[in-house]
């Protein structure tokens, strides 16, 4: 591990100011960053510890939503009574990720910013456009079984790894930040991540030194909340394909609300509102589901080993809708 300077911040603004040089990084739970530093994939010269900031609360908002401090651990967020009762899809998504020990340490802000699990990104003796821009992407013709099929580019096919962020995207969450000059801004999760295009090393819209302080959930959405994660092991495994869903069905069997977001298949948490519009107010019959899957996967591109994700996503979509129509999965 390379040498680095370590400091603790007392206020969000102080944290942002201390982390303003490009080579600085915040450390929260450290469950991803420390691995990246040990492998020398990330080599910050300055580490700003944010764990003493008072950002550990979950509070109701005036419009019936929830405001979550960035330091709320994944375990605490998943177990919070308001989240369990009103946002079960979020609770389930978090509990589908990592392990109990990791979730006890991992924070809300850190989870959004965890890096991809592409093998080549972690293998520092191989090229990787995300790690070292301009060096190439061996994954495209190499080991790509776990990698993305949507949102990819000629430069990168690395999948977005987070389960929590998929549920946050589904719920239209917003991220609040403080910048180095003390100004604040709010970024919808849908605008937070950047597609790889020809700059895969730029993964989100945060500026240097910009600190996530909170995440705000809008008022809860009525319906059956589910999170299905297809993976190689029942625990301690990232998604091959996952689907977060909120689905409401009326007495006549019509899909009155349908929201769907996917993990494991995209270079960012993947949601296509046109697919939801196509399914809304239908009875979710097999033809409509097929059309929805066609639309969702219209731009999907496998690279050999990960081709299976295309039919797997189709099947998962069908299962999620048919189960909701049968009143199951609540």
Ligand X SMILES: Cc1cc2nc3c(=O)[nH]c(=O)nc-3n(C[C@H](O)[C@H](O)[C@H](O)COP(=O)(O)OP(=O)(O)OC[C@H]3O[C@@H](n4cnc5c(N)ncnc54)[C@H](O)[C@@H]3O)c2cc1C
Which two tokens mark 46?
């300055």
Residues 49-108 that bind ligand X (CB under 6 A): 50, 70, 74, 97-98, 102, 105-107
CB within 8 A of 102, min separation 6: which ones? 31, 74
Q: Which stretch binds ligand X (CB under 6 A): 109-117, 141-149, 182-190, 264-272?
A: 109-117
The CB-of-50 to ligand X minimum distance in angstroms stands at: 6
Taking the C-alpha atoms of residue 34 and residue 36, their distance in angstroms, rounded to an integer, is 5
Residue from 76, 163, 228, 276 in contact with ligand X (CB under 6 A): 163
Residue 244 engages ligand X in binding (rule: CB under 6 A):
no
Distance CA 253, CA 272 (A): 23
The SS3 of residue 100 is helix
Is residue 240 a contact point for ligand X (CB under 6 A)? no
Nearest approach in angstroms of CB 93 to ligand X is 8
Instruction: Give the number of other Cβ atoms within 10 Å of residue 164's Cβ.
Output: 30
**187 is an interface residue for ligand X by CB under 6 A:** no
Count CA atoms closer than 13 A to 117's CA, side-chain side.
18
Instruction: Identify which of 167, 175, 143, 172 has the alpha carbon closest to the alpha carbon of residue 157.
Output: 143
Which range binds ligand X by CB under 6 A, 56-64, 146-154, 159-167, 245-253? 159-167
156 near ligand X, rule: CB under 6 A: no
The site that binds ligand X (CB under 6 A) totals a number of residues, namely 31
CB of 47 to ligand X, least distance (A): 8
The three-class DSSP label of residue 193 is: strand
Residue number with CB closer to ligand X (102 or 205) = 102
Helices (H) and strands (E) in the chain, counts: 12, 11
Check residue 37 for interaction with ligand X (CB under 6 A): no
**Between the CA of residue 116 and those of 121, 148, 225, what are the distances in Å?**
8, 10, 26
Q: Closest CB to ligand X among 23 and 281?
A: 23
Sign of the dihedral through C-alpha 59, 9, 25, 207: positive
Cα separation of 245 and 237, whole Å?
20
Which residue from 9, 147, 164, 265 is in contact with ligand X, where contact means CB under 6 A? 164
Closer to ligand X at the Cβ: 106 or 278? 106
Give least dist CB 163 to ligand X, A.
4
Pick between residue 148 and residue 289 the one whose CB is nearest to ligand X.
Answer: 148
Contact with ligand X (CB under 6 A): which of 110, 196, 266, 284? Answer: 110
x/- map, 273-292, ligand X, by CB under 6 A: --------------------
Angle formed by the axes of helices 286-296 and 309-325, to 10°? 140
CB of residue 116 to ligand X, shortest distance in Å: 11
Give residue for tokens 């450390």. Answer: 27
Least distance (Å) between residue 53 CB and ligand X: 8
Q: Residue from 149, 150, 170, 211 that binds ligand X (CB under 6 A)?
A: 211
For residue 302, give Cα distances in angstroms to 51, 99, 119, 229, 296: 40, 29, 17, 19, 14
3-state secondary structure of 155: coil
Q: Which residues bind ligand X (CB under 6 A)?
A: 25-33, 50, 70, 74, 97-98, 102, 105-107, 109-111, 113-114, 161-164, 211-212, 236, 238
């Amino acid at each position: 591990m390379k040498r680095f300077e370590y400091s603790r911040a007392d206020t969000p603004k102080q944290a942002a100011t201390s982390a303003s040089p490009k080579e600085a990084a915040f450390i929260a739970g450290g469950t991803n960053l420390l691995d990246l530093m040990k492998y020398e994939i990330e080599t910050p010269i300055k580490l700003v510890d944010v764990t003493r900031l008072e950002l550990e609360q979950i509070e109701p908002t005036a419009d019936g939503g929830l405001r979550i401090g960035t330091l709320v651990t994944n375990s605490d967020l998943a177990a919070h009574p308001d989240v369990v009762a009103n946002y079960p899809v979020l609770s389930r998504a978090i509990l589908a990720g990592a392990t109990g020990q990791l979730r006890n340490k991992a924070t809300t802000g850190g989870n959004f910013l965890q890096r991809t699990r592409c093998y080549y990104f972690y293998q520092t003796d191989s090229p990787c456009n995300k790690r070292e821009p301009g060096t190439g992407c061996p994954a495209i013709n190499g080991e790509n079984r776990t990698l993305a099929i949507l949102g990819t580019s000629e430069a990168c096919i690395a999948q977005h790894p987070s389960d929590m962020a998929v549920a946050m995207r589904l719920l239209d969450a917003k991220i609040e930040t403080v910048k180095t000059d003390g100004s604040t801004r709010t970024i919808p999760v849908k605008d937070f991540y950047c597609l790889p295009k020809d700059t895969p090393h730029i993964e989100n819209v945060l500026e240097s030194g910009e600190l996530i302080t909170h995440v705000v959930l809008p008022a809860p959405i009525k319906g059956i909340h589910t999170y299905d994660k297809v993976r190689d092991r029942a625990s301690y495994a990232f998604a091959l394909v996952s689907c977060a869903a909120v689905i409401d069905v009326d007495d006549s069997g019509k899909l009155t609300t349908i929201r769907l977001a996917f993990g494991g298949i995209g270079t960012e948490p993947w949601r296509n509102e046109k697919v939801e519009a196509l399914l809304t107010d239908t009875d979710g019959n097999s033809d409509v589901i097929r059309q929805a899957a066609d639309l969702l996967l219209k731009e999907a591109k496998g690279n050999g080993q990960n081709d299976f994700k295309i039919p797997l996503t189709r099947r998962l979509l069908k299962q999620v809708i048919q189960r909701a129509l049968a009143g199951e999965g609540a």
